[in-house]
Every structure is written in C-alpha cells, then in structure tokens.
A = this chain, B = another copy of it.
Amino acid sequence: MNFPRIAIDAMGGDEGVQVMVAGAALAADRYPQVRFLLVGDQSRIERTLDRHSALRPLVEILHADDVISGEEKPSQALRRARTTSMGMAIHAVKNGSAGAALSAGNTGALMAISKLALRTIPGIDRPALAAIMPTLQPSDVVMLDLGANTECDARNLVQFAIMGAAYARIVNSQPEPRVRLLNIGTEDNKGTEELRDAAALLKERAGDLSMVFDGFTEADKICRGEVDVVVTDGFSGNIALKAIEGTARFVGDLLRRSFSSSLRSKIGFLISRPATDLLKHHLDPNNHNGAVFLGLNGVVVKSHGSANALGVANAVGVTQRLLEENLTERIKADLARLGTETLRAPHKVTAEAGQG
C-alpha cells in the first residue's frame, strides 16, 4: 500500500507559500515515503517549486483560487470551504485523495471546516486541539484542548482524556498513559463542578480506558513530564499554552539582554555558545510545531502561523506519524471497546460526585 498523501494548505500562515513549500521540501528529505498534495495558487506554487527540484516529483498541485484570511470568522470561512486552499485541503481528506491535511492558517476556520467536512468520530461530541509539550524528561506530554472549545462539560473532558491517551500511546509508546486534569489545586474539592465530575468519571472507568488516571495537576507541573496527558477545557488550555510560550520567549529575551549587558558577559556567551544553542533549540517553538485536531474522521494538523520551514517540516513529521500509526482508527477502537453509551450519564455522575 502506498503511504497516504498529505494535503498542505500552501497559502496559510504568516509567510504563506514560500515557507510551506520549503517546509515540505525539508520534510521530503526526512520522510522519503511521504507524498504531498499542495493546495493553493498554482502559478505561485510552481514558481516556488522551481527552487526545490527534489520535491517536484513528490508533489501534485491542486489549484485553489482563494485563501482564508487570519481575521475571517469561522462562519464566513465555512461558506468558502470549496474555493479556498484550506477548505480544499480538508476536502481532499474527505474524498480520500489525501490521508491528512496540514494548514498554518486561521485555527477557528480550520476547526469549523474540518468538523463539518469530516465529522466527529462516533462517541465524540467535539474535536479537541492537542499538542506535544516539551519536558526535561525523555517522554513528552500531550496537552488538550488548546482552544477549540471555550467551555466544556465533564463528558467532553472525559472524551478528551480518551483521545489524548490514544495520542500519548503513539508519542511515548506507553500502553497505559498517565492522565491528569488541569486544575488550580490537587485536592478533590478544587476547581469547577465540570472538573470534579470528570475526575469522578475517570477514576471510576480508568481501567476500562487503558490509562492511569492520576487526579489533578497544576499549571506549573505541565512541563515536568510527570504525566503523559494533561486534559483541560479549551479556554484554560489556551491560557496555559500561551503563558508557557510567552514566558519562554520572555526568558529568551532576558537571556539575550543579560548576555549583552557587559563585555565579560558577551565573551562568556561566545564561549558557552553550545549551551545557549541547546537552550535555544529546546525553547524554539518550531521544534514543537504541529497541533492535532483529535476526534475527527481524518487527520488534520495545525502548524503555527509564524512557523518557519523547519517548523512546517516538524508539523509534517507529526502528520506522517499519525498516519503511520493510524491514530483515527485507534481512537475509534478505544471508543468501541468502551461502548459509546458509557459516557452518556453526566447527571448521575454529578450526583455521585456531590456525595464524595
């Protein structure tokens, strides 16, 4: 069997076609089995491809007249799904001409079009955006939802836990991932009712779900690598993700400022270059690029809008791994094994949690 193609929205992201094509070229070098469907303005893609001759035989171009802008509302974007590079990349997954879609465009639009075109997996009410967070441990942490769902009930959170665990099994080769819910304290009575209900449900069913549910975690522990999956609603997840990104950037700026504060520091910087390069590598968001919409009938990956070619290549790496490991089928199998009726009794759970 041929490896499924990856449809790339060549026009999305801050830098557009240049970076997306350069990223694909880098990725083609790393993942020789991958083929690409580049969706966007044919002549601009052709021109960019002239500079990447090794990539040329590995791609097909699908012309799209239009582009969805960064400011466009999801509801507007939905109406233009059939004529835009983002919409056509997703529809290529729907009609089977690609195995996955990758875009650096408008996140809200990508979510809306993907959800309508691909639908959610039976047993999943809402897709969630998941990313891999860096840690100091050999294993990584999957965090979700990162902003697809502003408000979530207990059932959504449990579904996110199931999907996150499936993703973590692939990322960390861990058969029973350790899962925690993000909260503002670790005691049972902390946080919102939704979190307490989700914890009660996960505690009760964790065995059936092939995961170790380990209660609550606080936001300062996300990057410690103590767990494989951190589950949260999209509002808190987005706050946490951006606070982490912003602080990493802040510290980078501080470091730069500190090292240029005196001649001695500048000399020290030159000598310790390997150390600061190691740090830079770890903190560079391009090295952790590629957030995944979990819960859809198909793989859709979001590349950061400001990612460079290396970042795009890393997002292609995430995409090809999810295809290779059959993430969608795995989530479906987990849900089927569990029985879709299991998570349909939030009221009962609320009552039980109230007594605990």
A binding-site residues for B, Cβ under 8 Å: 71, 73, 136, 147, 150-151, 182, 184, 187, 189, 191-192, 218-224, 234-236, 238-251, 253-255, 257-259, 261-262, 264-265, 267-276, 278-279, 282-283
Q: B residues within 8 A CB of A254?
A: 136, 278-279, 282-283
From B73, B136, B223, B242, contact of A219 by CB (8 A):
B242
Choose from B150, B220, B264, B282 the contact partner of A272 (Cβ within 8 Å): B264
A267 touches B259 (CB 8 A): no
Q: Which residues of the partner chain B approach A261 to less than 8 Å between Cβ atoms?
A: 274-275, 278
Residues of B within 8 A of A242 (CB): 184, 218-220
Question: Residue on B with the closest CB to A268?
Answer: B272
Rounded to whole angstroms, the CA-CA distance of A137 and B253 in the bound complex is 12
| Among candidates B150, B246, B274, residue contacting A224 with C-beta atoms closer than 8 Å | B246
Residues of B near A223 (CB, < 8 A) are 246-247, 250
Contact residue among B251, B253, B255, B257 (Cβ-Cβ distance under 8 Å from A247): B251
Q: Is the CB of B184 within 8 A of A235?
A: yes
Q: A244-B247, A265-B272 are in contact. Are A253 and B192 (CB under 8 A)?
A: no
Copies of this chain, whole number: 2
Closest chain-B Cβ to A92's Cβ sits at a distance in Å of 28
11 A-B residue pairings within 8 Å (CB atoms): A184-B238, A192-B235, A219-B238, A220-B242, A224-B250, A240-B243, A247-B247, A247-B248, A255-B275, A262-B275, A264-B274
Verify B235–A220 contact, CB threshold 8 A. no
Contact of A244 among B73, B187, B241, B243 (CB under 8 A): B243
CB distance from A305 to the nearest CB of B (A): 13
CB of A197, distance to nearest CB on chain B (Å): 14
Determine whether the beta carbon of A246 is less than 8 Å from that of B220: yes
Quick one: which of B150, B259, B283 contacts A191, CB cutoff 8 A? B150
Give A240 to B235 CA distance when docked, in angstroms. 11
Q: Tell which of B182, B257, B270 touches A239, judged by Cβ atoms closer than 8 Å.
A: B182
Bound together, the chains give a CA A122 to CA B73 distance in angstroms of: 41
**Inter-chain contact A136/B240, CB cutoff 8 Å:** no
Taking the closest CB of chain B, its distance from the CB of A187, in whole angstroms, is 8
CA distance A214 to B189 in the complex (A): 35
A245 to B243, CA, bound (A): 9
- A246 and B221 within 8 A (CB): yes
A269 to chain B: which residues have CB within 8 Å? 268, 272, 275
Are A248 and B246 interface neighbours, CB within 8 A? no
B236 with A258: CB separation less than 8 A: no
When A151-B192, A192-B150, A283-B251 are in contact, do A243 and B219 touch as well, CB less than 8 Å? yes
Nearest-neighbor residue (CB-CB) of A218 within chain B: B242
> Which residues of chain B are within 8 angstroms of A262 by Cβ–Cβ distance?
274-275
Q: How far is the CA of A264 from the CA of B272 in the complex (A)?
A: 6
Q: Would A268 and B257 count as touching, CB distance under 8 A?
A: no
Q: How far is the CB of A99 from chain B (nearest CB, A)?
A: 30
B271 contacts A258, C-beta separation under 8 Å: no
CA distance A191 to B238 in the complex (A): 11
Q: A220 CA to B282 CA in the complex, in Å?
A: 18
Chain B nearest CB from A105 CB (Å) reads 15
Q: Are A243 and B247 within 8 A (Cβ)?
A: yes
